[in-house]
Amino acid sequence: MITCKSTRELDKMRRSGRVTARVLERLVGAVQPKVTTQEVNEFADELIRKEGGIPAFLGYHGFIGSICTSVNEEIVHGIPSTRALREGDLFKIDIGALVDGWFSDMATTVYVGEPDPSARRLVDVTRRALGIAIESVRPGAHISDVGHAVQRYVEGQGFSVVRALVGHGIGTALHEDPPVPNYGRPGMGAVLKPGMVLALEPMVNAGSYQVKTLADKWTVVTADGKRSAHFEHTVAVTPDGFEILTLAQEAPMPNEIPMELKAKEGGALDATQTAGRAAAG
Ligand code: MG
């Protein structure tokens, strides 16, 4: 069942989203060579709790991290560990928080040190894919319109979209209906209505879309070992279109958002990209 959130509930989700976005901004600023993924995880845990939230992923189906940390060919669900980040790594942070009963979910891809040109291109395309997903959100659109737009763009750029993992509704549960694939034909699935809230999260592979799960039963990697990038925002359907809930600052006026997103490539999603050597490049 897809729920529509009330104005009051959306306000709570906005506050949850702000916590997640603020923490992620700080984490991005802390990423550098030699930092371990466990150190980033501990920093995240501390910051989320300081903001009055609870790390959403800790204990989720037994997950032992407070965030997911995935490097290079690891797509998502990487477990924080003693692995030290190295110059040239593509580091993905996926973070969620529970604040006052409401979840928010967000992810970004960060360059560790200087990116090579192919990493930069993969990240730019993935960031733009999220922008395209968000811009597809409006009342009356179908769920599959989002994935269709993402797939058409990403494959047109010579990359592939992961199919085994999808975005999702979000609210008082971390994963709610509907699933939001990043591929497919348009005009299918539920019709979007104001008050629906979706975690949109294209995962883009440099090679094939096929994935496998490591023996740790969590980490999802590309089957061909090529790199992957991931961006995610929690987004509400509004009467006019969409509102990004995972913003570190007060949301801009709704009619300003599309312009921001349509800024020059790489201009989208600056909320996650203002600190440190972020993937905004
Ligand atoms: Mg998610």
For 253-269, write each residue's pLDDT tens digit: 444 444 334 333 333 34
Q: How far is the CA of 33 from the centre of ligand 1 (A)?
A: 26
Q: How far is the CA of 256 from the centre of ligand 1 (A)?
A: 25
Please provide the CATH number assigned to the domain covering 7-280.
3.90.230.10
pLDDT band at residue 251, thresholds of 50, 70 and 90?
low
Residue 121 pLDDT greater than 50, yes or no: yes
Residue 135 pLDDT greater than 60, yes or no: yes
User: Considering the entire predicted model, what is its pTM?
Assistant: 0.90
Q: How far is the CA of 172 from the centre of ligand 1 (A)?
A: 14
Token digits of residue 180: 């939001």
Q: pLDDT at position 253, please?
A: 47
Token digits of residue 55: 């790390």
Q: pLDDT at position 166, please?
A: 98
Residue 74 pLDDT greater than 90, yes or no: yes
Q: How far is the CA of 168 from the centre of ligand 1 (A)?
A: 7
pLDDT tens digit string along 19-62?
999 999 999 999 999 999 999 999 999 999 999 999 999 999 99
For the residues 157-169, what does the mean pLDDT come to?
A: 98
Q: pLDDT at position 199, please?
A: 98
Q: pLDDT at position 28, please?
A: 97
**What ranges do the domains of the chain cover?**
7-280
Q: How far is the CA of 117 from the centre of ligand 1 (A)?
A: 27
Q: pLDDT at position 159, please?
A: 98
Of 239 and 251, the structure prediction assigns the larger pLDDT to: 239
Q: pLDDT at position 249, please?
A: 86
Residue 203 pLDDT greater than 60, yes or no: yes
Q: How far is the CA of 106 from the centre of ligand 1 (A)?
A: 7
Residue 9 pLDDT greater than 80, yes or no: yes
Q: How far is the CA of 219 from the centre of ligand 1 (A)?
A: 15
Mean pLDDT of the chain: 91
pLDDT tens digit string along 89-104?
999 999 999 999 999 9
Q: pLDDT at position 252, please?
A: 54
